[in-house]
Every structure is written in structure tokens, then in C-alpha cells.
Amino acid sequence: MSTPPRGPVDASRTPRYAGPATFARLPRIDQLDAPTDADVAVVGIPFDTGVSYRPGARFGGNAIREASRLLRPYNPAQDASPFALAQVADAGDIAVNPFDINEAIETIEAAATDLLATGARLMTLGGDHTIALPLLRAVAAKHGPVALLHFDAHLDTWDTYFGAEYTHGTPFRRAVEEGILDTSALSHVGTRGPLYGKQDLADDERMGFGIVTSADVMRRGVDEVADQLRARIGDRPLYISIDIDVLDPAHAPGTGTPEAGGLTSRELLEIIRGLASCNLVSADLVEVAPAYDHAEITAVAASHTAYELTTVMSRQIAATRPTP
Ligand SMILES: N=C(N)NCCCC(=O)O
Ligand SMILES: [Zn+2]
Ligand SMILES: [Zn+2]
């Protein structure tokens, strides 16, 4: 890194509510000296053609950006200034076809591959959970099969819906079938709610997933859960996929398939902080459906979640940067 990172717009000079809403009011990637200068590319994915219930996650990315106006540059919980440690920039949205899921998946994989080729890690915002599959393909093409930490009320390892293979309920089964996940380090966190049958759990276990249910988090506490997850992940390249419905509907009403009895936003943020030593190569944050949100509750929780994830990435980038 030759020049220091370009940080957010100064909120003491330009009010937070003024100007365009990039993530955390960071520069756009095309405002950097070179677009390849981003260490972390925050990218929106406006796509929700894969949903089984309420639509609207195509608007999630921009709702998260709007809510992220209030983020401040120093993160005390991780004792780090993420946007000073590394260049984080907003790479805009991937323009995907809303009428053709197969084409959308190809477009997302290609765009993610291009961004990863610049050396950036990805923090994607918005979209339904279908998009995790093309993102994992792109990440695995670079790093090999990755460890997966999947925060969600749902397993998302179902086989098909109405005969469709590519939906928001099926990305991780497809990913296992494609051999792009390291099946020795797969975990769901926050799982809860009714299933189609007991076989769903047997299938999921056969694919290699371990489950930390929402009730486990409550009973065992965030520190023990984070310790267990870290032990399973080790030093493998890690991809974190966060479905905002992992949070209780009280903490995230703006989502498509809400389930009662979820994590608090405090628990989610603390577990992520507990993973700061992991080699987080990219992450997504999906299923924010602003039309069902109230007072930006969901979008604020999502923006803080993305902030913790980018902090983990920035710290890792700074810690492993070769000294000139
Ligand atoms: N990925 C999310 N949010 N939901 C999957 C639910 C699939 C179903 O309706 O069974
Ligand atoms: Zn879900
Ligand atoms: Zn999901």
C-alpha cells in the first residue's frame, strides 16, 4: 500500500445524512487512484428471484448502505480503525438479470471473480441466499475449497423447490455437490424453526455440516460458541455467509422468511468478533428485505454486522501485509 487508505467522508464536516450513500460513506472503487487498490470491496447484489416467500432482498444492499451512514471510523470492540488499516471501498452493484436465475448466477460469479483477481476480499450486501453459490464458486476458484460459517435460521441445504435447483433454500447443497467447500469445516449457526422432515437434518449432517442452534447460543453463550467455531475452522480460508434472518424477527423484521426464537444482534456481533483471528477471505450478508423493515432495525443490524466483518478482514490484511 503506497498511499494511506482513503477513508470515509468526515462526518464533522459533511453531515452524515448528506451526499450519496456508499457503504460507511467510503469512497467508490472508481475514486481510488486505481480500482485495483481496494483491499476489501463492498459490493451490492440486487437479486431476489430465488426466494420462496416474501420478495424484496434486491433492495437490501442499498438499505444497508443508507443505514451505514452512522458508522464511525473506530471500532472499540475490536480496537481497530478498519478503514485506516486497509483500503475498503464501495464497488457498487453487480447488475444481474432479474428474469433468468441461471444467467444471474453466471454474472455474479464472473463479477466476483474479476474483483477477487484484483486482490480484494469481498463483502457483499443484499440479495437472497441464492447468490452465495456463485460467490463461493469464485472464492473457491481462488483459494480452493473453503471453510464455511453459515449464520441462518435455515439450513439452505435443501435439494429443489418446484423442481428448481438454484434457489435461496439450496445454495449449500449445490456447493457441496460441486466440491467447492471444505467439508471438514462446515457449520451452521442460529438454526431453528420447523423443517420439512427429520431427513433434512440427516441429509445436512451427511454433507458434513455441524449445527449450533439458536438455543445452543443462548445456553452455551457466545464465547464458548466462538471458541468451538474457531477450533473447527483452524487456519483454513474461511467464507462467512450471513442470512440476516439468523436474528430474531424482533432484531430483524425486514426479511423474507422470518422464524421466531433467533439470535440477538448483540450475540451475532459478539460471535463475529470472536472469530477475528480467522482467515476470512470473503463474506456475504443476504436476505435484508427493506419493505418489511421498521425504523431501519434490520438495515442497522446488517450495517453493523458488515462493519464487524470488514474490521476482521482489515485487521487480517494489516497483520499479514509484507513490510516494505
Ligand atoms: N435462505 C432463506 N432465507 N430461506 C430459505 C427458506 C427456504 C424455505 O422456504 O423452505
Ligand atoms: Zn434464512
Ligand atoms: Zn438463508
* Local mean pLDDT, 10-residue blocks, the chain (324 residues): 87 96 98 93 98 98 98 98 98 98 98 98 99 99 98 98 98 98 98 98 98 98 98 98 99 98 98 98 99 98 99 97 83
* 303 CA to centre of ligand 1 in angstroms: 22
CA 134 to chain centre: 13
- For 246, phi then psi, to 5°, come to -60, -30
Q: Which residues are annotated as a binding site for Mn(2+)?
A: 129, 152, 154, 156, 243, 245
SS3 state of residue 234: coil
Please give the domain boundaries of the chain with CATH numbers for all domains: 23-320 (3.40.800.10)
pTM for the complete prediction? 0.98
Ion ligand 3: residues, CB within 5 A, are 129, 152, 154, 156, 243
User: Are 244 and 293 contacting, i.e. CB atoms less than 8 angstroms apart?
Assistant: no
**Cβ(248) to ligand 1 under 6 A?**
no
**Cβ(169) to ligand 1 under 6 A?**
yes
Q: Is 195 exposed, middle or buried (0-12, 13-18, 19+ CB in 10 A)?
A: middle
User: Are 114 and 36 contacting, i.e. CB atoms less than 8 angstroms apart?
Assistant: no
Q: Given this model, what pLDDT does residue 185 score?
A: 98
- For 148, phi then psi, to 5°, come to -125, 130
SS3 state of residue 40: strand
Q: Given this model, what pLDDT does residue 35 score?
A: 80
C-alpha cell at 178: 460441486
Atom of ligand 1 nearest to the CA of 287: 3
Q: Given this model, what pLDDT does residue 323 score?
A: 81
166, 257, 298, best to mutate for ligand 1 pocket (most atoms within 8 Å of CB):
257
Full strand arrangement of the beta sheet holding 209-213: 88-93, 40-44, 121-125, 279-286, 237-243, 146-151, 181-191, 209-213
Report how far apart the first and last C-alpha atoms of the chain are (Å, whole number). Answer: 9
State how far the Cα of 153 lies from the Cα of 213, in Å rounded to an integer: 8
Distances (CA, A) of 151 to 233, 239, 268, 277: 14, 11, 9, 18
- What DSSP letter does each residue of 111-134 carry, written as one string? HHHHHHHTT-EEEEE-S-GGGHHH
| CA angle (68, 71, 77) in 5-degree steps | 130
Ligand nearest to the CA of 191: 2
Atom of ligand 1 nearest to the CA of 52: 9
Q: Given this model, what pLDDT does residue 284 score?
A: 99
State how far the Cα of 15 lies from the Cα of 223, in Å rounded to an integer: 37
* 288 CA to centre of ligand 1 in angstroms: 13
* 32 CA to centre of ligand 2 in angstroms: 35
SS3 state of residue 190: strand
**Cβ(168) to ligand 1 under 6 A?**
yes
Ligand nearest to the CA of 50: 1
* 41 CA to centre of ligand 3 in angstroms: 22
**How crowded is residue 43: how many other Cβ atoms within 10 Å of its Cβ?**
27
